[in-house]
Amino acid sequence: MSSSPLSLRLTGAQVLRDGALQDTALAFSEGHIVDHALPEVDLSGYLLMPGIIDLHGDAFERHIAPRPSAPFPVAMGLRGTDRDAAANGVTTAWLAQSWSWEGGHRGPDAAENLLAALDAYRPHAQTDLRIQIRCETHTVHTRDRLIAAVEKHNVDYVVFNNHLEEALYLSRVNPEALAHWAKGAGRTPQEHLALVHAAFDESPQVPRHLCALAEAFDRIGVRYGSHDDPDGDTRERYSVLGARVCEFPTARSAAAVAKAVGDHVVMGAPNIVRGGSQAGNIQAARLVADDLCDALVSDYHYPALSKAAFRMVDDGLRDLPSAWAMISTNAAKIMDMTDRGTLAPGQRADIVIVHPDTHAIEGTIAGGRISHLSGDVAHRFFDAASETKLAAE
């Protein structure tokens, strides 16, 4: 970030601290929560919540290519993603980039291009943007390249997924969908299906490939998990491998096994907001009700994160502190990030300013810097700045 962190004391609001909403002031200086007197901004009537931590989002793809045939420069897309995240209260975000046999925008070339672009953009970012690599299991011959990219760009999160069965299924029962998939990758259905079969031929080598990646990630210090586990057996195999995050399980059995062995379960916030999965998989609300879900992520829509928290409150699934923890505190714990996820003294100053009635996010402070201001909150900050300037004169 280019601007210097602020030193302010936010007064009059209700602050989510220690698992409860408290009528107390919240001060921050040099990018961290502190506990001493500072110039004040009156935020009476608002809620101050910990910054949202998004473990998986691919909305960046639509900032880079709003239409499949109309891509824009990656740096331009990252700037749009950054602003989109900040406007929705996100202070830390992992952009979910595929590393797949599919090629195109999901292939290793695209992943390396995004990683390099984010390295260049990061000094200007308002949000702590990171990359999550979604590694297709059948990418045996790119293992050294993937490990090198992870080390070079300090990637800290990888998930394994396998879409081969889906492609083979589509080729049999829905060739039109396969043709659409192929078109998105810039090839004919026949060419795409040939790639599918070539990847499938790597199946005997995949178990050893995943073990080698797991060993490398353990050495480097990378957290890894799996994506779209269809059943408990699949989750158990990944857990034994060391992939301790179960991301978007498609069936209850996968989530149940994950929780039974102490793994983390992550679901999509849009699933909560829309009342179900757009792909027809298990309802996230059912897993939340059964205590089989630890955290929610944006998936493809940043506004769904805060909306899901309030939706869970309205539906009686969680009170507000525990609902908000599913988009902040719990995510920090999953990634072993001890410097964020709460508003305790010493923590990184990641703060979301929420209107209690409309639930609109009117302000976001990331690392002690303002990344988003709107509505009445913006006027209060400007008024406070004017008063401070007059007092100094």
In degrees and rounded to multiples of 5, residue 218 shows phi and psi of -60, -40
In which residue are the tokens 């209060």 written? 380
* Angstrom distance (rounded) from CA 366 to CA 347: 12
Helix (H, G, I), strand (E, B) or coil at 109: helix
Q: Please list the residue range(s) of the chain that carry CATH number 3.20.20.140.
A: 52-334
What's at 26, amino acid-wise? L
In degrees and rounded to multiples of 5, residue 366 shows phi and psi of -120, 115
Per-residue pLDDT at 282 exceeds 90: no
Q: Which CATH superfamily groups domain 8-49+346-392?
A: Urease, subunit C, domain 1 (2.30.40.10)
SS3 of the chain: helix, strand, coil, percent, to 5: 45, 25, 35
Residues 328, 53 contacting (CB under 8 angstroms) = yes
Q: What are the C-alpha distances in Å from 63 to residues 19, 68, 83, 116, 360?
A: 35, 11, 11, 17, 22
Domain at 52-334, CATH class: alpha beta
* Count of beta carbons in the 10 Å neighbourhood of residue 389: 9
* Average pLDDT for 315-331: 98
* Angstrom distance (rounded) from CA 238 to CA 85: 30
Output the average pLDDT for the chain.
Answer: 93
Cβ neighbours for 83, distance < 8 A, ≥ 6 positions apart: 126, 372
pLDDT tens by residue, 151-172: 999 999 999 999 888 777 777 7
Q: Please list the residue range(s) of the chain that carry CATH number 2.30.40.10.
A: 8-49+346-392
Cβ neighbours for 168, distance < 8 A, ≥ 6 positions apart: 196, 200
pLDDT score for 393: 44
- Listing DSSP states for 33-101 in one string gives EE-S---EEE-TT-EEEEPEEEEEE-THHHHH-SBTTB---HHHHHHHHHHHHHHTTEEEEEEEEEE-T
pLDDT score for 102: 86
pLDDT tens by residue, 181-199: 777 777 787 877 888 888 8
From start to end of 72-221, where are the E strands? 90-99, 128-136, 157-161
Per-residue pLDDT at 331 exceeds 80: yes
pLDDT tens by residue, 56-81: 999 999 999 998 778 899 999 999 99
Residue 1: pLDDT band with limits 50, 70, 90: low
* Angstrom distance (rounded) from CA 271 to CA 228: 14
* Count of beta carbons in the 10 Å neighbourhood of residue 314: 9
pLDDT tens by residue, 377-386: 999 999 987 7
Per-residue pLDDT at 223 exceeds 60: yes
Q: What is the largest CA-CA distance in the chain?
A: 76
Which residue pairs from 201-209 have beta carbons closer than 8 angstroms and sit at least 24 positions apart in sequence? 202/138, 202/139, 202/140, 202/141, 203/138, 205/140, 206/137, 206/138, 206/140, 209/137, 209/139, 209/140, 209/143
Sheet holding 26-29, edge to edge: 32-34, 26-29, 8-11, 40-42
